Structure 1
Amino acid sequence: MPCLALSAPSSMPRLPGEDCDPRDRRGRCHPLGCILLAALCAVVAGARCLEAIGQWAANAPQPTLARLHARTTSPALGLRQAPSPATIRRVLTALDPAVLLGLSAVEHTAVLIVDGKSLRGSATPESGPAHLLAAMTAEGSTAAQVRVGDKTSEIAALGDLLGGLDTAGCVVSADALHTQTATAEYLAGRGADYLLTVKANQPTLFRQAKKLPWAQAPVLDRGRERAHGREEVRTAKVLTVAGIAFPYAAQVVRIHRWVRIIATGRARRTYAYLVTSLSAERAAAEELARLVRGHWRIEVRHEALRYRTGVKDPCRPAVAAAG
């Protein structure tokens, strides 16, 4: 893998202290910050697995190693030594994931999009693929991420995911799996609002949402896109509700999607229903439609990232045992 020399940055990234280092203090040859910076640079250069990260570090030129604050082996000559691939692997697999998330900590955000995906290529003979649950900002940054235990579910992991985030005043958007009474109560208790997809896993709520007087409701938002070989028209209707069978529900959204494949002319239409605790005074139809589009866009991006892992790289993702 080609290794580009680093230009001098205006300031070094804020790195975790040595107290976060999972290694025993005795025998540490390379500082934790150097190992993390080497891994970060390798990923930016295209590395997608631990083996490729180790190769990048081994090929790093001396000026790059100096910028990484690598270990000095010859002070007189100014020679530095990169962390070995084995050291990088040992540190990254033992490091608490929360430490890595802290490097890109996101300040309080107005929207959090919860999405879960299985990590491609991570299955072992003893267990299935690692399943990750992430909270993403509207811009696509990862605010938090946890691994879902083999014997638990995304629903149970949601509290761990959001527990370390300031969710007061935030809108949490999630798919139908999280459309649960307990989830709505939990978010309200944290001072957050929700925008949740409604499907048949909540049969009473789904039936109520479908039976609302949509024919009398005006179209409040409309969008059209033509890209990737297809044409799509979306319309949104919103109704204020009272007495619906879900805690804190204030409005229900119906998104109608008409999609035509340009090459074949084949078209299909779908309806999506969502429930939100945001009142009409706090979120108009245009804002709710924007939140829905943002959620779908992040889901597609998140899926692409998970799918690319290991597709063009023979390395197997390294995962720790789930708790």
Structure 2
Amino acid sequence: MVSVVDKQGFFLTQELVDNKSNKITAIHQLLDSLNIKGHTLTCDAIGTQKDIVVKIRQKRANYVLALKANQKTLYTDVSSCFADPSFLTTKTLYFKTTQKARGNIEQREYWQSKDLSKLSTQDNWMDLKSIVMTKNTITKPDGTTSSVQSRYFISSLPLDVKEVARVIRGHWLVESAHWHLDVTFGEMLIVLWIGWRRLI
């Protein structure tokens, strides 16, 4: 299922699909049907496709797209950048939030950089302006760390780490709200934010 959901979690429109290739086609169809001009759109890694990026930019919207192994070269280049301590300290903007969540302490860290010099496929991604790493750390009440998760993103947004953090956090909030669909109904959710709306 590929759906458009607003920030309250209401479904605006959706496409029923039966495999990954059809999910990508459905994302194209939904983008064709929506006025996204002036918005920032996010998507899970399945939507991180060169032709989808072109369509987003041609419709005069921005993107913050997740990276995973489906874009192996780009993922490797971006993760290697953020693995370099000197890159983190001299080439990035940093933002952190800390809050209580289900009795634990959840720390979310964000790094954003406009230095794309080490990305071998940079020119393949229309209007790519920045790369992002997030790290979520969950600490139990006794002070032990229960989980640490890092994620990577590409974006057409210029440097504004707080805005990027807001967009990514909004993406996760809706994703979490609809997690039960995966478990209860077996529906695969593909997530796209459009400003304060998002396609999943």
Shorter-chain TM range is 0.7 to 0.9
Calculate the TM-score normalised by the size of structure 2.
0.78
| Secondary structure at the counterpart of residue 52 of structure 2 | helix
Q: 1:237 to 1:157 in 2, by over 3 A?
A: same
- Does structure 1 retain, via aligned residues, the 8 Å contact 2:116–2:131? no
Question: Which of 224, 247, 258 is equivalent to 2:98?
Answer: 224
Corresponding pairs, count:
176
Q: Are 2:79 and 1:200 aligned?
A: no
CA deviations 1:275-295 (Å, max 9, x no partner) are 111122xxx110100111100
Question: Which residue of structure 2 aligns with residue 93 of structure 1?
Answer: none
Look at both structures and tell me which one has the larger radius of gyration over its CA atoms.
1
**Pairing of 1:250-261 with structure 2 (within 5 A):** 250-261=129-140
Q: Which amino acid aligns with 1:135?
A: V
Q: Are 2:178 and 1:299 aligned?
A: no
| Secondary structure at the counterpart of residue 180 of structure 2 | helix
**Identity, % of aligned positions:** 24
CA deviations 1:290-313 (Å, max 9, x no partner) are 111100110011223564569xxx
Q: Which amino acid aligns with 2:40?
A: V
Question: Which residue of structure 1 aligns with residue 151 of structure 2?
Answer: 272
Q: Which amino acid aligns with 2:153?
A: L
1:170 and 1:143 map into 2 onto residues whose CA distance is 16
| Secondary structure at the counterpart of residue 209 of structure 1 | helix
**Pairing of 1:1-323 with structure 2 (within 5 A):** 132-149=1-18, 152-212=21-81, 213-217=87-91, 220-242=94-116, 244=119, 245=121, 246-262=125-141, 265-280=144-159, 284-305=160-181, 307=183
| Secondary structure at the counterpart of residue 195 of structure 1 | strand
- Does structure 1 retain, via aligned residues, the 8 Å contact 2:92–2:113? no
Q: Which amino acid aligns with 1:287?
A: E
CA deviations 1:95-133 (Å, max 9, x no partner) are xxxxxxxxxxxxxxxxxxxxxxxxxxxxxxxxxxxxx11
CA deviations 1:154-188 (Å, max 9, x no partner) are 11110122222111112111011111111111211
Calculate the TM-score normalised by the size of structure 1.
0.50
Q: Which has the higher strand share?
A: 2
Question: Which residue of structure 1 aligns with residue 191 of structure 2?
Answer: none
Structure 1 portions without partners, runs of 5+? 1-131, 311-323
Structure 2 portions without partners, runs of 5+? 82-86, 187-200
1:241 and 1:266 map into 2 onto residues whose CA distance is 31
